[in-house]
Chains A and B, each alone.
Chain A
Amino acid sequence: MARPHGNNSAASVRPDDRSRGADPLAARREFMAKVVALACGGLATIPPVVAGLWAFLDPLRRTRGAASFLSVADLAAIPDDGLPRQFPVIADRVDAWTGFAAEPVGAVYLSREQGSREVRALSATCPHAGCFIDLEKATQCFRCPCHNSSFTLDGNIVNPSPSPRAMDELECRVGGNGQVEVKWQKYRAGIAEKVVQG
C-alpha cells in the first residue's frame, strides 16, 4: 500500500528557514502566525489557571473572628492553692461550612492564690511550636511533650528551653456571678514576642 505521506521523520524535513527568510512577506506572515498562535493558546489557558488560583488563594481572605471572653469555669471550681488546673474552653466553632455548637476548642490552665478572687489563665498551647503543654505533677512544672520546653507553674521559661517566650497568659476576669471568663486568643508560635494570630 502506497503511503507517500506516511512515515516521515522530523529530521529529514527540517524547515528551511533561509528559504522562507528569502521572502520577507512569508517571514512576516510566519512571525504573525507564531504570535497569534501563542496569544490564542495563552488566552485559552488563562481562565482555568486564573479561576484555580483565585479559588486556591481563598483561605487568605478568611480571618479568625475577634477574640471574645468565654466562660470557662466557676470560681469555686478553682482551688485557691496557687496550683494551676486544666479547664476545657467551650465555644461555638465554624469549620468552613460546618457549624459546631458549644464544642471544646482548647484548654487553659487556671490558678488563684489563697483567698484571692483574681484568676491567672495560661494558654495550654506551647509558644514554641503549638503542642499541648502538660502539667507535670511530679516535678511541679509545665512541660511540653514535643520538644521538652519547660515552664514554672507561673508560666515562666525554665532554661535551657526551646520555647522563645514564656507561656501565653490570657486575659481573665471574674463576673459578679462567680463565672471565670477568659479572652480566648491564639498567639503566633516560634517568636519571642507575643503577637496575636490574625
Chain B
Amino acid sequence: MSRPAARAASGQPSRKGVFGRLADFLDDRTGYRAVVHEALYERVPGGARWRYVWGSTLVFAFMTQVITGLFLWANYSPSAQTAWESVYYIQHEVAGGWLLRGIHHFMAQAMVVLLALHLLQVVIDGAYRAPREVNFWLGLVLMMLVLGMALTGYLLPWDQKGYWATIVATNLAGIVPFAGPSLQQLVIGGPEYGHHTLTRFFALHAGFLPATLVMFLVVHLALFRKHGLHAKRPITKPDAMFWPDQVLKDAVAMLAVMAVILGVILMPALRAMLAGEVVHLGHLGAELGAPADPSLPYAAARPEWYFLFLFQFLKVFEGWGATGEFFGAIVVPGLIMTVMALMPIVGNWRLGHRFNVAFTLAILAGVGLLTAMALNEDYSALWVNRASLAEAEKLHDQTGGDAAKLVAALGGDNAKVAAIKRQWKTLEKVRRSQAYLDAVKLAEADAARAVELAGRPERIPPAGMLELVRRDPLSQGPRLFAQHCGSCHAHVDPLAPDAEVVIAKSSAANLHGFGSADWMRGLLDANQVAGPAYFGNTAHKEGDMVSFVRDDLTDEATWPKGDIDAVVAAMAAEAGRPVPQEIAGLVDKGRELVAASDRCGGCHAFRGNGTDLGAAPDLTGWGGRDWLVGIITDPTHERFYGDQNDRMPSFGKAAEGAIPPLSREQIDLIADWLRGEWYRPAQH
C-alpha cells in the first residue's frame, strides 16, 4: 500500500491546502510529525509545575548565549593588542553592541543562578535516584562545563579585571601536583600571558567547551525523555501534557529571566532619564575595565561574584602557604564534587536522601556565607560608622598600634584597653575595605579614561590601547607624582582641598597649579611664601626669596600692587598658562620688571637680562614644559637651584652607566600632568 493510501486508510484527515500537502510531502520523507509529537506530547505526571521549569530555562539561557556569542564572535578579535580594543568597539561603537554584550554578560551570571536552582530542585525531589543516576552525573559535568565557560569568558575582554582574575585562576591550576605546571602552561599557551592565552581561552570558551556541552546536553535530554519527568510526590493532580501545559510555565520562566536581564541592563538608563541626564548607551550593560597592564598594581582584583566564595574560602587557609591553597582550591572543592557525585548511591540508604538534601543545603549556605563574608570585607567601610572609631583611630596613630603603649596611654584602664583593641580590629577591616573601595574607584576612573582616549579622532595606535594609556599624562601623572615626587611635594587644590588630592602632606611646595597666576600670587604673598605650600618646610624658608617677599614686596612705595600683578601676569604667560582677564594687559610691563636688575633680575636671570645663571632659578620659560622637564631632570643645574638645591634628587641624571630614577618619557608625563596638558574630548 502506498503511503498516502495508508494515511487515507488510517483515517487521518487529508489536507487540501498547499501547506498541508507540503507538510504531507515532508512527513512522508522525514517522519517529522512523529518526532514533533514525541517531543511535545510527553506526559507530565501530576501535572505541570513551576518547580520543573529550571532545566528548560537553562536550555533557553544556553541558546541565548550561543546566539549572542556568535554575533559577538563576528566582532571580537582575540589578541593582546586587539581584544580590549575590539570589545571597546563592540561596547561603544557598534550599533546595539552594548545590548548584545550586556545580554551575554548577564545571561552568563543568570545561568549560574539557574544551575544552582536546577540542582537544588533535583536533589530535593530526589530525582537523582535510580534509574536516573547517569543523568545526574551528566548534569554535574554540564555544571562544570558552564562554570568553565564563565571562567574563560571573563578573560576575553583583556581588561584589568579579567586579566588579574585569570592570573589567579591559572596559578591555582598550577599548584595541582605533578601535572599542574604543565597544565597551566598549556592553558595560557606558553610561559607568559599574551596572544596565545587569548586564542586558547577563546577556543575553549567558544569552541571546545560549548561543543562538549552540546554533546552532553543531547544525552542529558535524551535520558531525561527516556526516564520521563521525575514527579514531585505525592501526586495529587491528574497528569498533563508537556505541550502546552508545562511549556507554558517554562516559557513564562524564560521570559521572566530575559526580563530580569533586560532590567539589569536598562535600569541605569531609566534612572538617568528620570534624573534628566543624558544616557550614554555605551555605558549600559557589561562593564569594561582599563586594558590589562601587567605592570600596573590592581588592588580591585576580584573574581566574578559567583566565584567570590572560593576566593574567600582560600583566605581561610591563609598562612598555610601552597599547601593551604592546594587544600582550599583543589582538595575541598574536589571532595564536595565527589560527595555530590555519590548522591545517587548514598540516596539508596535509609537516611541517604536526607543526608543529600542537608549536604546540598549546607554547601549552598556555606557558599552564601562565604560570599557575604567576602562582600562584608570589601564593602564594610560603606556602613561602619568611622566617627565611632575616631578615638581608637587617634590612639592607633599615637601608639603606632603598639599594645604596651596603649596600656600606658590609657593609664592601665584594662576594660578600655580591651575595648580599644576590639575597635582596632574593626578599624583595620574598615581601612582595608576603604583601600579596596578606593582601588575600585581608581579602576573605574582608569576605565573611563581609556574609553575617552579610545575615542580620539586619531583612534587607537596599532600597538594597542595600553600604549596610549601609558603615554597619557592624566592616567600616569598622578601615579608617577605620588611615587617619585610625593614624598616631599603636595598636590592639593587649595580652593578644593577635598577634591583630587594626590598627595596631601608635604615638606616642599604644593605643586597644584604650578605655573598658574594663582600659584605665583601665593608665592609673592608675604603670608604664604614661608608657609607649607611654598618654602615653609624647606631650606629656603630663611632664604633670600622669603625675605624679599616679606620685606621688599610689602613696601608699597617700591612695589605698588599693580607691579606685583604685572609680575604675576608675566610669569603665567611665561608658563604658557592663561593670564587672568583683569591683568592680561600687564604682561609686557611684568616682563620688564622681572628683567630689571633692581627687581627680580637682581637675583634671577630672565630672557638674557637679569643676572647671570646660578644665583637663583632662571625665570626664562618658568613653569613651561621645558623648564619643568629641566628642573625634574636636574635641579642642581645652574639654570635652577645650583648648589643651593635643597634635597631634590636629579631624576633624569645618573652616573655614567647607571639608569636615572625616571626616564625622559616619565619626566615628560609628570611635566605635562602638572601643566594640565592631556587629551580632552571635544564637547558635543
Which A residues have a C-beta under 8 Å from some C-beta of B? Answer: 1, 3, 5-8, 10-11, 13-15, 30, 33-34, 36-41, 43-45, 47-58, 61, 94, 96-101
Contact = CB atoms under 8 A, between A and B. Distances in A.
B227 A10 contact: no
Contacts of B71: 51-53, 55-56
Contacts of A50: 96
A94 B461 CA distance: 10
A33 B71 CA distance: 32
23 contacts: A5-B45, A8-B228, A10-B41, A33-B244, A34-B248, A36-B252, A37-B248, A37-B252, A40-B252, A40-B254, A41-B247, A44-B257, A45-B63, A45-B64, A48-B103, A48-B107, A51-B71, A51-B100, A52-B67, A55-B97, A94-B459, A98-B460, A99-B460
Given A3-B131, A6-B228, A37-B252, 16 more contacts: A5-B46, A5-B229, A10-B37, A33-B244, A34-B244, A37-B250, A40-B254, A40-B255, A41-B254, A43-B258, A44-B257, A48-B68, A49-B67, A52-B70, A55-B90, A61-B95
Contact of A15 (B74, B89, B97, B241): B241
A36 B82 CA distance: 44
Interface string B453-474: 0100011111000000000000
Contacts of B150: none
Contacts of B63: 45
A12 to B, nearest CB: 9
B255 A55 contact: no
Contacts of B88: 97
Given A7-B226, A48-B68, A1 B244 contact: no
Interface string B631-665: 00000000000000000000000000000000000
A52 B95 CA distance: 10
Nearest to A39: B251
A47 B99 contact: yes
A195 to B, nearest CB: 27
Contacts of B86: 96-97
B97 A58 contact: yes
Given A13-B43, A56-B71, A56-B74, A44 B459 contact: no
Contact of B244 (A10, A37, A47, A48): A37
Nearest to B84: A97
Contacts of B231: 5
A43 B458 contact: no
A58 B254 contact: no
B598 interface: no
A30 B75 CA distance: 43
B235 interface: yes
Contacts of A34: 243-244, 248
Nearest to B252: A40
A10 B42 contact: yes
Nearest to A36: B248
B85 interface: yes
A19 to B, nearest CB: 12
A4 to B, nearest CB: 8
B90 A37 contact: no
A44 B462 CA distance: 40
B245 interface: yes
Contacts of A55: 71-72, 74-75, 90, 94-97, 99-100
Contacts of A53: 71
Given A98-B85, A99-B461, A44 B41 contact: no
A135 B86 CA distance: 39
Nearest to A5: B45
Nearest to B246: A37
Contacts of B459: 94, 97-99
B38 interface: yes
Contacts of B100: 48, 51-52, 54-55
A84 to B, nearest CB: 32
A97 B460 contact: yes
B93 interface: yes
Interface in B560-609: none
A13 B235 CA distance: 18
Nearest to A49: B67
B262 interface: yes
